[in-house]
Amino acid sequence: TNTILLKSRPEGKPTVSNFEFVKDNSELEINDGEILLETAYVSVDPYLRGRMSDAKSYIPPFELNKPVQSGVVAKVTASKNDNFKNGDYVSGMLAWKTHQVSNGEGLLKVDGSQAPLSTYLGVLGMTGLTAYLGLNQIGKPVAGETIVVSGAAGAVGSVVGQIAKIIGLNVIGIAGTDEKIKMLKTKFGFDAGINYNTSKDIKADIAKAAPNGVDIYFDNVGGPISDAVLFNINRLARIIICGAISVYNSTETPMSVSVQPFLVKNSALMQGFIVSNYAEKFPEAIQQLSAWLSEGKLTYTETIVEGFENIPNAFIDLFEGKNKGKMIVKI
Ligand code: NDP
């Protein structure tokens, strides 16, 4: 069994030296009620950065010298639990280990014949749910409105934009490369895209792409990109604060323009979103996402990195924008 431990808490951008690889050659045994799992796919996600710090948050921090955990799809290779049989695949929050024992609690059976196994970590997993529920529960989108999505070419953003198109919105995406902007328009049907790395004036570019103003802002990145969007919001705009990757590695308290005047002037709503708060809506969301996928109304992109040893690098690469769509490690 290979395991990845959190060796030290990152200061600023994480590095591979924050992680430690350990190898254990002993055979894993299972007791009654337990299953043996072989990891197939590991999800790496920006929010894990928060758990690597010891600051108080909505989930407890990872402990030092203990395995890192994230969304994993694994194969059941032995079972003494009636709910699982040899050969089943499951998804759930599991350790960064090649093999592990579980009592099955919190694990969901997934079916590779219904959809590729990796999608249960992306479009049919946590990031798809985040896109669907964040947009619908807080954004309350209405056909004809204009939405701006930041982090648009990533796992959450690419799904948000497509759902907004299905509902009939004018969709503008912000992302970091021309290649990603092209993908937003050709693969995901966005109406316009802005490359924040080459734009000379993001605020003006948004105004140009949204001549009627911005009704919904789905924010994945925070910082100056989000400030530029807020200058363009309409009356009764809804702003979904889903993430703030541009400041996750900040070592100082990030300073931003004062957003209050924009919110007051426009009677706008800004609300933080945490997907786990909406667990009772997961079944309906998954059903809708699966239906759209099979009808061909929704598509997805994954960046698949191969090899257990590359998990830390794949995680770090999220902060460099190396992924298109969902970043996943195949073991
Ligand atoms: P992504 O697939 O979007 O990957 C991260 C992307 O962020 C990169 O590809 C990169 O794209 C962009 N990025 C990296 N650094 C910066 C920066 N400094 N400024 C602007 N963009 C940057 O990740 P996810 O879709 O998994 O997550 C997106 C956001 O949603 C994250 O903030 C995450 O924490 C949040 N999230 C929140 C959840 C919740 O329940 N609240 C659940 C899931 C995710 P580019 O090339 O465009 O820069």
Which atom of ligand 1 lies at the shortest distance from residue 274's CA?
40
**In CATH terms, are 2-122+300-330 and 126-276 the same topology?**
no
Could you tell which of 180, 229, 245 is best to mutate to test the pocket of ligand 1, judged by most ligand atoms within 8 Å of the CB? 245
Could you tell which of 13, 93, 220 is best to mutate to test the pocket of ligand 1, judged by most ligand atoms within 8 Å of the CB? 220
| Alpha carbon distance 91, 41 (integer Å) | 9
**Domain definitions of the chain by residue range:** 2-122+300-330, 126-276
Strands 89-95 and 108-110: antiparallel
pTM for the whole structure: 0.97
Q: How far is the CA of 220 from the centre of ligand 1 (A)?
A: 5
- What whole-number percentage of the chain has pLDDT above 90? 95
Nearest residue (CA) to ligand 1, atom 16: 246
- Candidate CATH numbers 3.50.50.60, 3.90.180.10, 3.10.20.30, 3.30.530.20; the one for domain 2-122+300-330: 3.90.180.10
Residues lining ligand 1, Cβ inside 6 A: 45-47, 126-127, 130, 151, 153-157, 175-177, 180, 220-221, 225, 242-246, 273-275, 318-319, 321, 323, 327
- Candidate CATH numbers 3.40.50.720, 2.60.130.10, 3.20.20.70, 3.40.50.410; the one for domain 126-276: 3.40.50.720
Which atom of ligand 1 lies at the shortest distance from residue 174's CA?
47
Nearest residue (CA) to ligand 1, atom 15: 319
List, in order, residues 6 or more apart from 35 with CB less than 8 Å away. Answer: 76, 78, 79, 80, 81, 84, 101, 102, 103, 104
What are the tokens at 200?
């000379």
Q: How much is the ipTM here?
A: 0.99
Residues 277-322 have pLDDT tens digits of: 999 999 999 999 999 999 999 999 999 999 999 999 999 999 999 9
Q: Residue 274 gets which letter from DSSP?
A: -
Residues 12-65 have pLDDT tens digits of: 999 999 999 999 999 999 999 999 999 999 999 999 999 999 988 888 999 999
| Alpha carbon distance 249, 272 (integer Å) | 19
